[in-house]
Amino acid sequence: MKTLCISGAVALSASMALACSDQSGLVLTANDEAAPVAFVTDITPPASVPFDVTLTLCGTASAEVTFDAIMPAHQHGMNYAVDVRQVTEGTFHMENIVFHMPGLWELQFDVKIDEARYSYRGEMMVP
């Protein structure tokens, strides 16, 4: 029984480490070298249909995260606010993001870890 619990814990931390070492997602660009490595689910969002994204902040237990996005070519943002929910240590879930036009969207994350504030940018192309 005890061994089972331990192996469970090992498996969990191994998968988290893996998530950060393999970074199969879309790696975000930070404004600061001290910012933890961050990436989001790498998907091709459908035009004007809600989709979900998970953000991983490597080596970060908890943080305050806000999310927004704009279409730089058209100078407009999203028509909906997006709530960010922490799901496990270092992972955050965003539901019902709507990119209401095809083209290039810039994702913007503001992250507060203890007293430090970082901002991240990423890009997604809506076909």
Q: Enumerate binding residues for other proteins (CB under 8 A).
A: 47-50, 73-76, 78-83, 95-96, 100-103, 127
The distance of closest approach from Cβ of residue 47 to other proteins in the complex, given in angstroms and rounded to an integer, is 5
Nearer to other proteins, 21 or 79 (CB): 79
CB atoms near residue 34 (< 10 Å): 8
The distance of closest approach from Cβ of residue 33 to other proteins in the complex, given in angstroms and rounded to an integer, is 33
Nearer to other proteins, 30 or 98 (CB): 98
The tokens of 75 are what?
């100078």
Nearer to other proteins, 27 or 98 (CB): 98
CB atoms near residue 51 (< 10 Å): 17
The distance of closest approach from Cβ of residue 103 to other proteins in the complex, given in angstroms and rounded to an integer, is 7
Contacts with 39 (C-beta within 8 Å, 6 or more apart), sequence order: 23, 25, 26, 27, 28, 55, 56
Distance between CA atoms of 53 and 11, rounded to whole angstroms?
24
For 76, half-sphere exposure in the C-beta direction (CA atoms, 13 angstrom radius) is 10
The distance of closest approach from Cβ of residue 86 to other proteins in the complex, given in angstroms and rounded to an integer, is 18
Nearer to other proteins, 23 or 54 (CB): 54
